Chain A
């Protein structure tokens, strides 16, 4: 029996520059952190040789070829397991059908791969797990996603992830003093918009638009070092304003990233005194991240009182085997 724990992630600036069509022409950069909300994947061998899967649905099948879930099927093919395994997944912030913008599908894929290799008695580096997860999600399953989430969830911590034109991906940790780290976390608020969304329809559109929106994406990539500089100085207001700039550009990437309900939510947090914010992940729904002066937090919570506030903290750990027997 093996259990892996893999974090979800929040990205601040640069999302969208992790598509290959973009970063082959200009270096992509994303600044993100893992948070203390996790995906857990449990794996055990089955005496009868069948495969049983428990996620939002249940599948009981005789062999790998019959599996419906594309990521589990892809991962089992990748590691070469054909049958005789139970796989169960649990998340701290479960989504009914689709994602929430916290990198959940990559967190799951990375955690599943980590567990499957451990099941075979092998230990793999975060880099290896991230790259394999990219292959399974993007190439095998055909998800129209970039590569930031696989790296963010495999490595963990607060990082700048750079996607170089040659294809090489670097993860550079950002280390903060206790005061700045605590201050950064304190200024953030995370609200659930109340809407789940289909990331793939938004991302497909965004992917098609890369040529048209190339200049925006370049600017978004260039915001990353500016955000880092403000962060290292503890200039929270500047960071909030950069989040706002990033959101205005992100909205331009595809017409369905924002919608009237999201625009209204966003405008109401600005009116209540926020510096800035963004819809996490693909957009269209999911979670709204807000950065605001501490004195305005009560106002903002009041303005969004119908939306669930999710307390969270940054985390340092990446995908980990937390139980093995």
Chain B
């Protein structure tokens, strides 16, 4: 059992360390620039990645500033596109599931905003379509991907790529990196 547990933790550690640090730094730069010019940050994902998107929204909006009382007036404007059941089901039912994020994006997106797209396979049609929509609107795209990066990887500006083909490893890695970014902003802002 000890070995079983250690194997998982070692594998996770090895895979996270393979992510190019410059890509994480670039993601931080994009998020910071968006914050500076009062842009919104949209987050999307399916299943476990939807949960990561929700969680990261909360960390950007609350955790980064939560301990600072009234001192920091200006905050992140992160918006989860995975949490509105009526919007998701309306677009899924009327148009198709691949439209659920891109259509919500069209309601809100302006050129000064940014998109964070989370997909382990990098091939979810609704994520790809949203990334294409973001690009057509000139938004920078931060990608958190796994496996071989899929079709999403070339659509991203910052490429946070956990190159494992196990969902457990990829999703755990994505979550850890979101916490790294949260910690960075907690310390800086």
Contacts and interface: CB of A to CB of B under 8 A. Distances in A.
B32 A316 contact: yes
B188 A316 contact: no
B71 interface: no
Contacts of B36: 36, 315-317
B135 to A, nearest CB: 10
Interface residues of A, number: 19
Given A123-B138, A322-B38, A157 B29 contact: yes
Contacts of B187: 178-179
Interface residues of B, number: 18
Contacts of B111: 123, 320-321, 324
Contact of A320 (B28, B112, B184): B112
B172 to A, nearest CB: 24
B33 A156 contact: yes
A97 B100 CA distance: 53
A225 interface: no
Interface string A307-325: 0000000011110111010
B166 to A, nearest CB: 29
Interface string A161-180: 00000000000010100110
24 contacts: A5-B37, A157-B29, A157-B33, A173-B25, A173-B29, A175-B22, A175-B25, A178-B187, A181-B188, A182-B188, A315-B33, A316-B29, A316-B32, A316-B33, A316-B36, A317-B32, A317-B33, A320-B37, A321-B112, A321-B138, A322-B38, A322-B112, A324-B110, A324-B111
Given A315-B33, A322-B38, 20 more contacts: A123-B111, A157-B29, A173-B25, A175-B26, A175-B28, A178-B184, A178-B187, A179-B187, A181-B188, A315-B36, A316-B32, A316-B33, A316-B36, A317-B37, A320-B111, A321-B111, A322-B37, A322-B112, A324-B110, A324-B111
Interface of A: 5, 36, 123, 156-157, 173, 175, 178-179, 181-182, 315-318, 320-322, 324
Which are the 9 A-B pairs with shortest beta-carbon distances?
A: A317-B33, A175-B25, A178-B187, A178-B188, A316-B33, A316-B32, A321-B111, A123-B138, A317-B36
